[in-house]
Amino acid sequence: MTGMISKILLEADTAPTFWQTITGHKAVFAYIVVLLCAVVALMLLFIIRSARETQAREKEKKLLKEKRRFSRLGELDKISKEDRKKTFDDNITLSELCDKFRDFASSQMGLYYEPQTVRAFVASLAVSRLVIMQGISGTGKTSLGYAFGKFLNHEASIVAVQPSWKDRTDMLGYYNEFTGKFTETDLLYDLYRANTDDEIYITVLDEMNISRVEYYFAEFLSVLELPELASRKIEVVSDVKDNDPKLLEKGKLTVPDNIWFVGTANNDDSTLSISDKVYDRAMVIELQSRAKPFSSPYTEPVSISSTYLRRLYDEALTDFDTEESVRAKLEQIDAYLSEHLQITFGNRIMRQTEKFIPVYRACGGTEDQALDLILSKKVLRKLEIQNPVYVSTEAEGLIYEIEKIFGEGNMPLCVFYMKKFVRI
């Protein structure tokens, strides 16, 4: 009995008291509270981290949106239509335009040009978007295009062609993957800007035949001939981004009606020959010597719109329409050239001729002068790729035929050109 009592007392001593039980429950509760706090803290940290990541992504998107790959063109988009507006004084004839330009170049820039050179230049702009100024160095080829821009109160862009040029990216620029920026050239800038106003844009391709024109200018040659403006687009980039300039449509930019290219070509060993493909599509002006200085009255520049200039050209086609007798003469000389020298006008050159003659006359020149210019520069030039010995045997006969059809002494440029073959 005594042993049993001792065992009960011993168990009573070792059993947890009431407070011990409560204390144990508090520990469990505290543990649960700590655990819950930890979970809540982790959840808060997760939420904060997620919020920060979302904020960072939004910020990155905003930065990417603000970081345009076309920075210069993007700036043009910010200019309002009102700020782009310019007042034009569209009140001048083609003849006055030529005379005033010649006087302006003389009085303000010390540059001198023969009247027929200026008329040929202005009339050529009506025929083709590419005019080639050809001749020996130092005759004023580059300065003519530059001076014409000054005269129109809108300076021409001078683009120095490089020997390494091979495609349109050399002219328009390219996308730099490393910087995420498009390298925008002055030509691309002018091309984009020309789509936003009605000014006359002249781009001078200086020493254009220092590289292969038919390589770097190939796409422009094709696009510039398309009759519909909506189809006259050239690719700038192959992909599309939301923040690209507004006027880029699927990475392409329209080549508008108010931009012309004036290429200068030196005739020396440092340059390359220009292909028939280029010559056929362009108008060619030959400068073999500097014009003599002359005095002229001080002449201010003029401000005319591209729309007005094209209207003057259209009016010239009506007011100075080529007569049937002239067309008959052209067909006669074309038949002779085809039979004896295996060259012909072709449809393109015939269309150019029928535009050039009336516009040249509207500029103050004569019909014979216009015929002489276009025959010597557009048609007889094709003899350069013929056998020179064979051409020499036909040269005197062609000179006789030219003077018989057009009158003796009326085609001095054609006769002069053919006489060089007589001496071979």
In this structure, the answer to whether residues 46 and 98 fall within a common structural domain is no
Q: Is the distance from CB of 167 to CB of 211 less than 8 angstroms?
A: no
pLDDT for res 26: 66
Is the pLDDT at 98 greater than 80? The verdict is yes
Q: Which two tokens stand for residue 324?
A: 């049937």
Judgement on whether residues 47 and 103 belong to the same structural domain of the protein: no
Report pTM: 0.83
Distances (CA, A) of 263 to 105, 153, 165, 336, 350: 19, 21, 15, 32, 22
The pLDDT mean for the chain works out to: 89
The domain boundary, picked from 241, 269, 287, lies at: 287
| 187: its two tokens | 């030509």
Per-residue pLDDT band at 63 (split at 50, 70, 90): very low
CA dihedral (124, 126, 131, 135) in degrees, to 10, reads 10
226 shares its domain with 373? no
Phi, psi of 407, deg, nearest 5: 100, 140
Do residue 81 and residue 61 come from a single domain?
no
Residue 283 and residue 397 share a domain: no
The pLDDT value given to residue 13: 54
Q: What is the pLDDT of residues 158-179, one digit of tens each?
A: 999 999 999 999 999 999 988 8
| 81 occurs within a structural domain | yes
Say which amino acid occupies 153. N
Same domain, 269 and 140: yes
130-135 vs 259-266, strand pairing mode: parallel
Please report the pLDDT score of residue 9 as a whole number.
46
- Check whether residue 25 and residue 143 sit in a common domain: no
Q: Is residue 262 part of a domain?
A: yes
Reading the block at residue 243, the tokens are: 């923040």
pLDDT tens, 325-359? 999 999 999 999 999 999 998 899 999 999 999 99
255 and 379 share a domain? no
Structural domain contains residue 278: yes
Asked if 396 and 403 count as a contact pair (C-beta separation under 8 A), the reply is no
Please indicate, yes or no, whether residues 250 and 375 belong to a single structural domain of this protein. Answer: no
Query: Is 8 inside a domain boundary?
Result: no
CATH number of the domain enclosing 201: 3.40.50.300
Q: Is residue 276 part of a domain?
A: yes
- Select from 5, 32, 66 the last residue of a domain: 66
More confident residue, 263 or 35: 263
pLDDT of residue 22: 54
Q: How many structural domains compose the chain?
A: 3
Coil vs helix vs strand at 262: strand
Number of helical H runs and strand E runs in the chain: 18, 9
388-402: average pLDDT: 95
Please check whether residues 36 and 91 belong to one and the same domain: no
Is the per-residue pLDDT at 204 higher than 90? yes
pLDDT at 288 over 90: no
Residue 313 lies in a domain: no
Answer yes or no: is 302 within a domain: no
> How high is the pLDDT of residue 57?
67
**Mean pLDDT, range 47-71, rounded to an integer:** 70
Host domain of residue 363: 320-422
- Examine the domain organization and report whether 221 and 257 are in the same domain: yes
Q: Which of residues 232, 267, 287 is at a domain's end? A: 287
**Confidence band (pLDDT; 50, 70, 90) for 23?**
low
Distance CA 195, CA 256 (A): 6
Same domain for 253 and 151? yes
Residue 256 within any structural domain of the chain: yes
Burial (CB < 10 A; 0-12, 13-18, 19+), residue 410, is: middle
